Chain A
């Protein structure tokens, strides 16, 4: 197999680093499987949400608690962060030094944290209005789904911090590259899950 072959879906290191490229085919495959398993977690929480949508128990329903504007801004922020991560990946492959990578990663981190802050603010407002998870089955499932995604984003942010440190310590060695590829998949995956949350939870919740 020549170094130019695409070994897995996603960014391939092909022409620039054949050795790591070969190893990535293997390591990233494992990470794709992990993401599939993780996707099942989300799928089941979506299903649970669907089941519990009517279980409002006389408490607030979707239309009472969802705010489309902030959810939309959050979506834009997260989508932008996927774009900036993409830029980081491309500079990982082509740029000479680590400066562009760390810069793009830094922007991604800032956007991720901004997303978390806004989401936290939303949830805090809801809790302040009495829309706490213990109020009803519907609110339980909503909070669980959103928080699981939020926890994933938090983990992603922590991971970015670790990668920033490793880039400074090790430069772009093989393991840093592979972990960057993994982190990339993870980050885009979270974005996709959020798009699903935005459409299934927020848009549908307000449309009914």
Chain B
């Protein structure tokens, strides 16, 4: 076999280290440094696990687990790693723009383009999506009184496909180069004519793997919500987080295919010379723009709706009040979900359709502001005359409400086509969407992380470091992004690797400082995790209800047993656990316990993930034998799995009884906490109930 047949396009030159060796410059050294971080990080993790002899345990208890709770935690862990990388890239971009004012700056133009492409792609697909999928995974079955999602194996497969795609993003730092076409990958620039290298192929296959994983996730969550709610939980009794998860899932089911089609057709163009989006021979780039944003706009609501759900839970719990206007919140969620399919053209007002079409889509876009506004009022009214406790999650909710409204207002500006003509493709837009995504998505997910962490791990997160981190996220956000509104209105184009206008300097310096504060925010978050783990004994909440919670997830121990509920609950109202505590029926011990069937562990998820990841890598580098072998391997795995009949495992009634009795003893030993002491060591997870 020749080298090309064996290794495709892969060569020594593909390695970032070799390029830095041959042509040492600040630019290539930064690239090699990033690659070294990936390699050293991977080696260190592997070495650590090996030294501690933890492989077997990890494999048995985590990687092959089909438990929705563990899958959820793995998703969130993945998203934190990816957040760290994408944030580092953001800081580098801010550094570049602050220094490259009529000067070369730190990275060259091509490298800068890779930075915004990977940053955007990672933040959306490998930070936000895994984070929200992880939280929904963890919380959803608990909130609807179920023992797992509908298709636990499919759930694991989604996780491992997503992880494989994230791995591909990491690989692109070490071997080859990433796309320079932005997170939206517009052709014809990403066609072979203009981007002959492997960059767009990395983007295509990472995004495709991720989008398949998300489609399957959406299907799984939607079926779970429709079919696995406990008795008595009618749709109008579902916690609001379940409502938003449902709408997010529906959006995933219907919008992800548009992305799959866009990337698949682009791949056909690149690999087989088709002419979907090329300049010549009947290709039509506008079709790509439509397909991509037919996915892209619903996607922003896929991202934001779960955060809305989290805010609803958090605001109600920490205001010690029932959610105000439950029905209107649910209806507003549905309205947003439906409308989100009707506005995609606002992403390309300037690309040549008629003024009338622009007007229709502009009005539709503004219409979405209405249900969103309804929600903001609902949260404010929920707090009104409530007994508000300013814990970290509530602080995030407050910062969100004020900051998000600002972003909404600039969104209305952008929705107005004549104004959009002035600021489109400038930093004004970058400021706008970060103004939506950071408060609307990141703060929400972080609020959820703080809120449910004690449930998942049995101890609270450190409150003080939580506040430090919160303060940095908020201050950093304003510093980093408010200047961009000014710069954008002054005409500074987005995605610029060099700045020609010296008057922009002060604003760019402020934005750069803001990015550093944001980096500090992430660092504080990691410190918080470290400190909390160190002091976990002082902060344990084994009784399971540290915040005087309202929905079913708080009615079980922390962390919950693998089967969630020894006896499937029955609910009769909207805040079932809250009501049960007031009626004195919470924590009732059943007369007897029954054996519980749970899915057995399976290696199919990690196997499909590994094969999928290698298949994608092989396609990127055109190593055809490997691509064929891995794809056949995936099909064979699925077929082989369909022959496995022994897929369930029974937890004997005695085991259930033992676990439950232990927990009830803990409950009996715990002193109830009033809300004044909920962030102190007194809080053992049993809430003092004042009727």
Residues of A within 8 A of B (CB): 25-26, 29-30, 33-34, 36-38, 40-41, 44-45, 48, 51-52, 54-57, 59, 133-138, 140-141, 143-144, 158, 162, 166, 169-170, 173, 175, 179
B220 at the interface (CB under 8 A from A): yes
Residues A134 and B284 in contact in the complex (CB < 8 Å), given A26-B227, A48-B261: no
Residues of B within 8 A of A (CB): 150-151, 215, 218-220, 222-223, 226-228, 253-254, 256-258, 260-261, 265, 268-269, 272-276, 278, 280-284, 287, 291, 294, 635, 639, 642-643, 645
Residues of B within 8 A of A25 (CB): 227
Structural contact, B265 and A144, CB atoms closer than 8 A: yes
Residues of A within 8 A of B228 (CB): 26
**Closest Cβ of chain B: how far from A61's Cβ, in Å?**
11
Residues of A within 8 A of B265 (CB): 48, 144
Residues of A within 8 A of B281 (CB): 55, 57, 59, 134-137
26 contacts between A and B (CB under 8 A): A26-B223, A26-B227, A29-B226, A33-B219, A36-B253, A37-B215, A37-B218, A37-B254, A37-B256, A38-B257, A40-B253, A48-B261, A48-B276, A52-B282, A54-B282, A57-B275, A59-B281, A133-B272, A134-B273, A137-B281, A137-B284, A140-B269, A140-B276, A141-B276, A144-B265, A144-B276
Cα distance A54–B283 in the bound complex, in angstroms: 10
Cα distance A110–B223 in the bound complex, in angstroms: 34
Residues A33 and B268 in contact in the complex (CB < 8 Å), given A26-B150, A44-B261, A44-B291: no
Residues A51 and B639 in contact in the complex (CB < 8 Å), given A26-B150, A175-B645: no
Besides the known contacts A134-B274, A140-B275, 8 further A-B residue pairs in the complex with CB atoms under 8 A apart: A30-B219, A34-B219, A37-B219, A38-B257, A40-B253, A52-B282, A137-B278, A137-B282
**Closest Cβ of chain B: how far from A126's Cβ, in Å?**
15
**Closest Cβ of chain A: how far from B51's Cβ, in Å?**
42
Cα distance A21–B470 in the bound complex, in angstroms: 51
Residue of B nearest to A30 (CB): B223
Cα distance A138–B281 in the bound complex, in angstroms: 9
Cα distance A162–B256 in the bound complex, in angstroms: 29
Residue of A nearest to B639 (CB): A162
Cα distance A124–B116 in the bound complex, in angstroms: 43
**Closest Cβ of chain B: how far from A152's Cβ, in Å?**
14
Residue of B nearest to A36 (CB): B253
Residues of A within 8 A of B635 (CB): 158
Residues of B within 8 A of A138 (CB): 282
Taking a contact as CB atoms closer than 8 A, the residue among A55, A173, A179 that contacts B275 in the complex is A55
Residues of B within 8 A of A34 (CB): 219
Structural contact, B643 and A169, CB atoms closer than 8 A: yes
Residue of A nearest to B151 (CB): A30
Residues of B within 8 A of A33 (CB): 219, 222-223, 253
Structural contact, B260 and A41, CB atoms closer than 8 A: yes
Cα distance A179–B638 in the bound complex, in angstroms: 13
**Closest Cβ of chain A: how far from B228's Cβ, in Å?**
8
Structural contact, B150 and A30, CB atoms closer than 8 A: yes
Structural contact, A37 and B253, CB atoms closer than 8 A: yes
Residues of B within 8 A of A45 (CB): 261
Residues of B within 8 A of A51 (CB): 284, 287
Structural contact, B642 and A166, CB atoms closer than 8 A: yes
**Closest Cβ of chain A: how far from B222's Cβ, in Å?**
6
**Closest Cβ of chain A: how far from B557's Cβ, in Å?**
28
Structural contact, A57 and B280, CB atoms closer than 8 A: yes
Structural contact, B282 and A57, CB atoms closer than 8 A: yes
Most chain B CB within 10 A, of A36, A55, A137, A143, is at A137
Structural contact, B282 and A44, CB atoms closer than 8 A: no
Most chain B CB within 10 A, of A29, A55, A140, is at A140
Residues A133 and B274 in contact in the complex (CB < 8 Å), given A33-B223, A36-B253: yes
Most chain A CB within 10 A, of B223, B256, B282, is at B282
Structural contact, B284 and A44, CB atoms closer than 8 A: no
Residues of A within 8 A of B227 (CB): 25-26, 29
Residues A55 and B284 in contact in the complex (CB < 8 Å), given A25-B227, A30-B219, A33-B219: yes
Taking a contact as CB atoms closer than 8 A, the residue among A36, A137, A169, A175 that contacts B276 in the complex is A137
Residues of B within 8 A of A170 (CB): 645
Cα distance A44–B280 in the bound complex, in angstroms: 22
Structural contact, A134 and B275, CB atoms closer than 8 A: yes
Residues of A within 8 A of B283 (CB): 55, 137, 140
Cα distance A170–B280 in the bound complex, in angstroms: 55
Residues of A within 8 A of B254 (CB): 36-37, 40
**Closest Cβ of chain A: how far from B214's Cβ, in Å?**
11
Residues of B within 8 A of A26 (CB): 150, 223, 227-228
Cα distance A136–B281 in the bound complex, in angstroms: 5
**Closest Cβ of chain B: how far from A185's Cβ, in Å?**
14
Taking a contact as CB atoms closer than 8 A, the residue among A37, A41, A57, A144 that contacts B274 in the complex is A144
Cα distance A1–B151 in the bound complex, in angstroms: 23
Cα distance A67–B33 in the bound complex, in angstroms: 59
Taking a contact as CB atoms closer than 8 A, the residue among A41, A55, A162, A179 that contacts B257 in the complex is A41
Residues A40 and B258 in contact in the complex (CB < 8 Å), given A134-B272, A169-B643: yes
Cα distance A179–B283 in the bound complex, in angstroms: 41
Cα distance A169–B151 in the bound complex, in angstroms: 24
Residues of A within 8 A of B275 (CB): 55, 57, 133-137, 140
Residues of B within 8 A of A56 (CB): 282
